[in-house]
Amino acid sequence: MNMKIMQKKLMTAFLVILLLICLPSLLMCSNDEAVKTEASSVAGDEKTTMSNDTAEGTDSPISDKSIYIASLKGPTSIGMIKMHEDQPVLGENMTANYEIAASPDIMISKLLSGEIDIATLPTNVAAKLYNKGISYKLAAIVGENVLYVLSQGEEINSWQDLKNKKINVISKGSTPYVVFRYLLEENNIDPKTDVTLDYTVEQIELSQLMISEKAEIAVLPEPFVTMVLAKNKNVKLAFDFGKEWSILKNGQALPMSCLMISSELAQNDPEIIAAFLEKYKESIDWANNNIADASKLVEKFKIGMDAATAQEAIPRCNIKYTDSSQAKNLVNDYIKTLLDFSPEDVGGKIPDEKFYY
């Protein structure tokens, strides 16, 4: 009996010792499994997170494309004024940024630096820049004549009435100067001997001289023509350059302002250009058919005249859209005429076919 009890006690002691020896290993195995399980869980979470991130990346929106559009302060901006106001959509994920350049020099600077994608410019300036290597194309003529001869005192009814008169002309070497000399010569007036051309004052001062009756005959553009006519009822319109040009050129218009588009935009985004041109045509039509409302926008965007002046000036600004394919011949003829009188004014040559969009 005592022997059996002794055997049981020995067996119990052996099992306890065995358990004590194996317990650390069992605990370590248990911890390893826990670590493995936790690591597997974390890896699974990371995989799920990465999968979700990838899915979200696939659905992320495409970055917007921006283009920059500038019109020149003055009559040239009138045709685009509705677009400045409405900011029309030109394409999906595309933002159009509009601005009004205060002067041709500022516009040229922005074009040379590549800041502007679409711009309005005097046509001769566009030709000059192209001939100097700038990568832009003429897409349309967007403005015709804005130049007029004003007179007071002795009536001027024909070109011959200008003989022996002093005529104030703005900016020697500029487009008004060149076109006026051409018109004089074509009407048998020698600019050097038959008249005295005075280039000493610019358009703002010249307008004041006409208003105060200190000048009798002047070549001025809109909106200065309207300003003078409104403030001095003795001043009359003697000649409309557009009509006189048309007589000499078999009905052709005088293509003074154009729309230029960067060659890069022309090549890469023709659908954006198509949308822009369509909206621009609509804007020009709207301005011509809604003169009172357009005049309010002219004043709002500060393009050089108040609403009252704009309302009188818009019809004489001849804002018209002519696609480049239809305008090519009249532009070439215009540039050739300027080239004969002032080569540097157009860059020394007639632009080649790549000038046109």
pLDDT at 42 over 80: no
Is CATH 3.40.228.10 correct for 69-144+255-355? no
The order of strands in the sheet holding 118-122 is 94-101, 65-72, 118-122, 257-262, 136-143, 322-323
Mean pLDDT over the full length of the chain = 85
- What is the CATH code of the structural domain delimited by 147-248? 3.40.190.10
Tokens representing 141 are: 């003529």
| pLDDT at position 127 | 97
> For the chain, which residues make up each domain, given as ranges?
69-144+255-355, 147-248
120 three-state secondary structure:
strand
Determine phi and psi for 148, rounding to 5 degrees: -145, 155
CB neighbours of 102 closer than 8 A, spacing ≥ 6?
A: 73
Q: What is the pLDDT of residues 222-257, one digit of tens each?
A: 999 999 999 999 999 999 999 999 999 999 999 999
CATH topology agreement for domains 69-144+255-355 and 147-248: yes
Q: Is residue 94 within 8 Å of residue 272, measured between CB atoms?
A: yes
Confidence class for position 341, pLDDT limits 50, 70, 90: confident
| pLDDT at position 3 | 40
The H or E element spanning position 143 is strand 136-143
Average pLDDT over residues 171-190: 92
The H or E element spanning position 26 is helix 2-59
d(CA 143, CA 78): 10
Specify the pairing of strand 257-262 against strand 136-143: antiparallel
pLDDT at 44 over 90: no
Cis peptide before 88 (omega within 30 of 0): no
**How does DSSP assign 236-251, residue by residue?**
EEEEEHHHHHHHHTTT
